[in-house]
């Protein structure tokens, strides 16, 4: 008996625990085959396999390719506030999460982001209706790559928490040339894409259907990212 296309469950319909398991399965499968600390050459079999995996995920992604922007709302004064806040939080409450440190932002920072119209900005950039992931989900957080070798291995985000992410670079100190420094990577059907972005620049992508991660920082380097999560308004309404 053959299985028709209509019989295959669309992963966008998976909710809750099923959505979490979907992200775990793809993350484990990718990590079993590829390591972001040793990126393959474009013609390497590993790259071909990553591209094929991205090809399977791409039809479901609500952001076809990652978008790199310099948002107007990330003004000099806003960046100063966020950098000072992140530095304080790094001292006080950051905790180890895999090979990096995380800390949810404060309620005040969440209110600042809402006042700046970050949700509306991402909606416009992506042509989507979105809801920001609430603070208690701990997704809107600072990520600190501040110890030598800190990195984030290939993964998919769990869709029961987040669909679209915005990664705003808050601060970075590179000791190496821009083309060698730690960067965010995303796999698309055309290849492994590198995003080396500066404070004030932001990357927007659908992390639930785009494999992504960060290559390691070296001794003396550090990168601070503000990660803001969004869910599709329609998906939230369905629950």
Which residue carries 């040339």 as its tokens? Answer: 177
Write each residue from 101 to 140 as x if it is in contact with Fe ion (CB under 5 A), else as -, in one continuous string. ----------------------------------------
Q: Is 207 in the site for Fe ion (CB under 5 A)?
A: yes
Q: Which is nearer to Fe ion, 100 or 196 (CB)?
A: 100
Q: Is 206 in the site for Fe ion (CB under 5 A)?
A: no
Longest distance between any two alpha carbons in the chain, whole Å: 63
Q: Which is nearer to Fe ion, 39 or 81 (CB)?
A: 39
Return the range that interacts with Fe ion (CB under 5 A); candidates 29-37, 69-77, 129-137, 155-163. 155-163
Q: Is 157 in the site for Fe ion (CB under 5 A)?
A: yes
* 3-state DSSP assignment of residue 51: helix
Q: Is 193 in the site for Fe ion (CB under 5 A)?
A: no
Pairing state between β 95-97 and 100-104: antiparallel
Sign of the CA dihedral with 187 first, then 190, 196, and 202 last: negative
The secondary structure element, H or E, covering residue 134 is none
Which residue carries 């005040």 as its tokens? Answer: 108
Q: Is 163 in the site for Fe ion (CB under 5 A)?
A: no
* 3-state DSSP assignment of residue 108: helix
Return the range that interacts with Fe ion (CB under 5 A); candidates 38-46, 179-187, 206-214, 217-225. 206-214
Shortest reach from residue 155's CB to Fe ion, in Å? 6
Q: Which is nearer to Fe ion, 157 or 163 (CB)?
A: 157
What whole-number distance in Å separates Cα of residue 118 and Cα of residue 233?
15
Residue 35: count of CB within 10 angstroms of its CB: 15
Residues engaged in binding Fe ion (CB under 5 A) = 157, 207
């Amino acid at each position: 008996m053959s299985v028709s296309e209509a019989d295959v469950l669309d992963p966008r319909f998976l909710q809750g625990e099923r959505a979490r398991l979907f992200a775990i399965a793809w993350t484990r499968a990718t990590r079993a085959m590829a390591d972001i600390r040793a990126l393959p050459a474009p013609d390497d079999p590993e790259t071909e396999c990553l591209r094929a995996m991205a090809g399977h995920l791409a039809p479901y992604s609500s952001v076809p390719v990652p978008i790199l922007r310099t948002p107007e709302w990330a003004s000099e004064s806003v960046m100063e506030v966020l950098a000072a806040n992140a530095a304080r939080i790094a001292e006080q409450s950051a905790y180890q999460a895999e090979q990096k440190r995380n800390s949810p932002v404060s309620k005040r920072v969440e209110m600042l982001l809402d006042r700046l119209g970050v949700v509306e900005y991402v909606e416009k950039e992506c042509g989507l209706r979105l809801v920001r992931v609430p603070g208690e989900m701990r997704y809107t957080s600072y990520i600190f790559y501040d110890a030598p070798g800190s990195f984030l291995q290939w993964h998919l985000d769990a869709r029961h928490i987040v669909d679209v992410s915005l990664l705003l670079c808050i601060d970075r100190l590179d000791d190496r040339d821009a083309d060698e420094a730690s960067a965010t990577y995303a796999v698309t059907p055309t290849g492994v894409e590198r995003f080396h972005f500066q404070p004030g620049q932001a990357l927007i992508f659908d992390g639930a259907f785009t494999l992504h991660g960060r290559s390691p920082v070296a001794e003396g380097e550090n990168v601070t990212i503000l990660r803001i999560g969004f869910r599709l308004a329609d998906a939230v309404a369905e629950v």
